[in-house]
Amino acid sequence: MTDGPSRILQTIIQQSRDRDKPGAELDDYFEFFASQQVLKERRFNLDPPEIESGIYGGGDDGGVDGFYVFVNGKFIREDTDPVVFKDQQQLNLELVIIQAKNTESFSETAVQKLKDFTEQCLPYGSTLGAEQQKLFGQSLLGAVKKFHDVYQHAVLHHPKLTITYAHVSLGEQIHEKVRIRSEQLKVKAKELFTTSAPDYLFITGTKLLQLFHQHPEEKIALTATKLLSNSLHDRPGYICLATLPDFYDFIAPNGVLQEHIFEANVRAHAVDVKVNKLIGATLANPEKNDFWWLNNGVTILASDVAFFNDKLHITNPLVVNGLQTSYEIAGHFSGGGSRQDGRKLLVRVVVVDSGSDTSDKIITATNSQTKIEPINLHATEQIQRQIEMALKTHDLYYDRRKNYYRNQGISLQKIVTIGAMAQSVAAIVLQQPDNARARPTTVAEKNYASLFSEKFPIEMYPNCALVLKRVDAYLDGLALSRAERLNLLFYVSMCAVCVALKSVKPQRASIAGMDVALLTDALLKSTFETVTAEYKKLGGDDKVAKGPELVAALKAKLVSEFGGQKKRRASKA
């Protein structure tokens, strides 16, 4: 990389840090930046909190700065129940391990550390016992344990496992010794998982710059036979018939089901549902009837679509109706279904603007055949729209559409995901910082009615988001590990609000009317010290942050300090 591009890349990293995480050390932010680009290169569309959750750089990281597990393209979080995959017919596991160094060289030591980590921790059946706990951080071992759990539930289904090591630096030259070490690591990974496909990627400064400029748009081609097109308000739409093998190639290029294109579908795949069994039986036993005569078809939303060379070229496709049919088709062909099958599927492709409510209306309308629980459509509910509008008055952006604002270049400091909002309200309003920490993806499902309602004061939501961001920025300025910051974030947020409002359990209206400026550095310093003392007294680790003891201890302290406030106010009156 010449001096010009090198300086451009370094400027991009510095300015990205200043925009997204101004309190972070540049080397720490580089781990996030590098992970973001690597995952983009692997075609995984994670939002910033998801990327952050997979970063383990720091002390006792074993050379692992990023550790990410995917099943059929779906990111596995710490609270993902691996049982949900046990009945799926086709399982493709991908493990992405990232080593990111903000230097201009690829070191031999970094590869050796990854090899040591692989030998010590990755073997299936490894106990991750006392030796590993002395050598590696608890958070990283927890992530490895989740990988083992997922693999255990998948192993009877002969899963396809891909292990990708991504070594990122600003350098360009890879010494021969480093390459040899990387090949040895691939051999070791292959020994541990004999049916896996290990790979070792060197992401140079030039490649990193290319990935940064790579637009996140995804274009997939669908071969269409019969085609009907129509345009309304200059937006094209298509109805077509696609052969079953062609549709399988669309949803599972190279035989790997792209689960992320089903994220907007309100239902999950259910193997044992009677209708799905009938779809599977129809696929397995061709009759005189064409498939599309017996099936309602699939609806796809897209940001753009064009037809040429007998193919629909679809940009950012989202299958919003037809997931059950799609999965049954994927299972049929991955299980050996004939590629000569000429039967066809009805496909609708509609171009929508991500910022409008058209996509929500289509999702709701095309999924109205059976009753859907509200949580499955929460992104389209009126309360979620109201929250988005309320946040904008505070210069915050509510990502109801995954990475919608991030892809527009909005600072991470201004973006609030639905998951992050649920965590902030759970921690501050419901006073469940343990659940917010331990269950990042399921806390909303388990407490939805208590978290989101049009009956609650709307200003509660931007205030909760602002509190969490204020505390996060304060913790960023302290000499804490990434794991410590995450473990303390929700507890400090809960206690800081209580201290600011001088209340053991502030009401929603009080939180909605609170001036976040009350969270001064002095208040946060005092609160942080109180929380940290109790956290360390109980053991100071992930288990403490995810368990009930810490919140109970902190609530007892709040009662001792503010428990008599209401009585004293009443006596003065």
Q: What is the CATH number of the domain that holds 150?
A: 3.40.91
Closest CA to 447 of 463, 466, 467, 433: 433
Alpha-helical segments (H) within 42-154:
48-53, 108-121, 130-135, 138-154
**367 and 380: one domain?**
no
The CB-based long-range contact list for 204-208 (8 Å cut-off, 24+ gap) reads 204/1, 204/169, 204/170, 204/171, 204/172, 204/174, 205/1, 205/5, 205/6, 205/9, 205/104, 205/169, 205/170, 205/171, 205/172, 206/1, 206/5, 206/172, 208/9, 208/34, 208/37, 208/168, 208/170
**66 and 123: one domain?**
yes
Cross-sheet strand order for the sheet of 219-223: 219-223, 311-315, 304-308
Integer Cα distance of 48 and 417 in angstroms: 9
**242 and 350: one domain?**
yes
Integer Cα distance of 512 and 498 in angstroms: 13
Query: 222 and 242 in contact (C-beta within 8 Å)?
Result: yes
Side chain identity at residue 422, one-letter code: A
**197 and 319: one domain?**
no
**296 and 391: one domain?**
no
Side chain identity at residue 483, one-letter code: A
**232 and 149: one domain?**
no
- Residue ending a domain, among 339, 372, 405, is 372
**254 and 333: one domain?**
yes
What is the widest separation between alpha-carbon atoms in the chain?
86
172: left (phi over 0), alpha (psi -120 to 50) or beta: alpha
Q: Any idea of the CA torsion for 538, 541, 543, 548, to the nearest 10 degrees?
A: 40
**394 and 368: one domain?**
no
pTM: predicted TM-score of the whole model, two decimal places: 0.74
**320 and 432: one domain?**
no
| Type and span of the H or E element at 312 | strand 311-315
**387 and 456: one domain?**
yes
Print the domain residue range for 322: 219-372
Integer Cα distance of 192 and 430 in angstroms: 45
Cβ count near 65 (within 10 Å)? 25
Closest CA to 71 of 317, 269, 338, 332: 269
- Residue ending a domain, among 191, 213, 235, is 213
User: Along the 573 residues of the chain, how does pLDDT read in single tens digits?
Assistant: 656 668 889 999 999 999 998 888 899 999 999 999 999 888 787 889 999 999 997 766 778 999 999 988 788 998 888 876 766 666 889 999 999 999 999 999 999 999 999 999 999 888 888 888 888 988 999 999 999 999 988 887 788 899 999 999 999 999 999 999 999 999 999 999 999 989 999 999 999 999 998 766 667 899 998 888 876 655 678 999 999 999 999 999 888 887 778 765 555 555 556 677 888 888 988 877 899 998 989 999 888 888 888 899 998 888 888 888 998 999 899 888 999 999 999 999 988 765 456 666 666 666 544 433 333 456 767 898 899 999 999 999 998 877 778 877 899 999 999 999 999 999 999 999 999 999 998 888 888 999 999 999 999 999 999 999 999 999 998 989 889 999 999 999 999 999 999 999 999 999 999 999 999 999 999 999 999 999 999 999 999 999 999 999 999 999 999 875 554 443 343
How many domains, in total, are found in the chain? 3
62: left (phi over 0), alpha (psi -120 to 50) or beta: left
**358 and 406: one domain?**
no
**209 and 228: one domain?**
no
Query: 71 and 150 in contact (C-beta within 8 Å)?
Result: yes
Q: What are phi and psi of 529, to 5 degrees?
A: -65, -40
- Tokens linked to 283: 């696929």
- Residue ending a domain, among 168, 191, 213, is 213
Look up tokens 């902030």; give the residue: 424
Query: 247 and 347 in contact (C-beta within 8 Å)?
Result: yes
Strand partners, 311: 223, 308
Cβ count near 544 (within 10 Å)? 20
